[in-house]
Structures are given as C-alpha cells and as structure tokens.
Copies of this chain bind each other. A is one copy, B any other.
Amino acid sequence: MKTSKQELERRMSHFKDVCRNAELKLTRQRLEIFREVAQTGDHPDADGVHRRVRKRIPTVSLDTVYRTLWLLKDLGLITTLGFHHNRSRFDANLVDHHHFVCIRCGSTQDFYSNEFDALRLTETLKSIGSVEAVNVEVRGVCRKCRSKRTK
C-alpha cells in the first residue's frame, strides 16, 4: 500500500524539521533516500532503496544509502524490521502496527488491530525486563503465493 500524498508530505516535513534540529545538512541524497522509504508501503532493503533512488540520482552510492538509513534510524525517523535473506529492511511507518510476512516470497504487509495493540503484558513478562514495544508477527502464505500453487 503506497503512502498517500498527504501523509508523505507530513513525513517529509517532519524529516526536515528533525534534520534542522540536529544540525544535519539537508543533502539531495538524504532527501531522496528518505522520500523513497517514506513513499513506499513495502519494506525495502538497502539495495532496493539504492536501486530506486538511482533513478533520480544516478551517481548515488550504496554506502551513502546505508549511512543515511542508519542515520534515519538513529533519529527515530524510520525503524528496521526483521531480516529476509540476510538483509535489513526499513520502514517509515511510525504508527503502531503489525506485520504479515509471507513465508514463500518474503513480502511483508502492514496491518492494524485494536485487539493486538491492547495486549496486556503478563506478570511473567514484566519480570523479564522493561517493555518498549510489542509487535505481532504473523507468518503465513500471502494471496498471490496461494493462487500460484493451489494444490
């Protein structure tokens, strides 16, 4: 699901604010790299971001993409999610949400659930440590993959 124009603009503007506040330079690379992650509904890896940003900035290098993505993570502008095929993947959706991961093709879709968000933390859990985030990962086979091999 692609990000709406409105939401994208909100994210871009927040991104600029945070950069200015942190006295970070607003380079064309940073703008395009963030826009790419903020714009897409899937959860691209560094190489995917690089490939797409290169369409706008043909000379951008993969290491700049990596440096920028980790920087964005440090700034709290994006998060990382579980790997697939040994690659980190990035997500600019900061609203509480959960993931459906297809065990065949690895595609990940966001979904929302009041019930999942309302999960109470058990006593056992509290004794393990202090909780920062609860994320539900649902694994299964997505529609596309199901229709491919329906036996």
Residues of chain A in range 85-136 having any CB-CB distance to chain B below 8 Å = 86, 88, 100, 102-103, 109, 111-113, 115-116, 119-122, 124-125, 127-136
How far is the CB of A27 from the nearest CB of chain B, in Å?
27
The A contact surface, by secondary structure, is strand
**Closest-CB distance, A7 to chain B (whole angstroms):** 19
Asked if residues B137 and A135 are in contact (CB atoms below 8 Å), the reply is: yes
Task: Flag if B128 contacts A142 (CB, 8 Å).
Answer: yes
Size of A's binding interface in residues, CB under 8 A: 38
Chain B proximity of A45: nearest CB distance (Å): 12
The answer to whether A113 touches B138, judged by C-beta atoms less than 8 angstroms apart, is: no
Name which of A86, A122, A125 has the most chain B CB atoms within 10 A of its CB.
Answer: A125
How far, in whole Å, are A82 and B122 apart by their CA atoms in the complex? 22
**B-chain residues with CB within 8 Å of residue A134 when the two chains form the complex:** 136-139
Residues B103 and A132 in contact, CB atoms below 8 Å apart: yes
Contact A125–B142 (Cβ < 8 Å): no
Given contacts A113-B125, A128-B142, 13 further A-B pairs with CB under 8 A are A111-B122, A111-B124, A111-B128, A116-B119, A119-B119, A119-B136, A121-B138, A129-B145, A130-B140, A132-B140, A133-B139, A134-B136, A135-B138
**Residues on A facing B (Cβ under 8 Å):** 82-83, 86, 88, 100, 102-103, 109, 111-113, 115-116, 119-122, 124-125, 127-143, 145-146
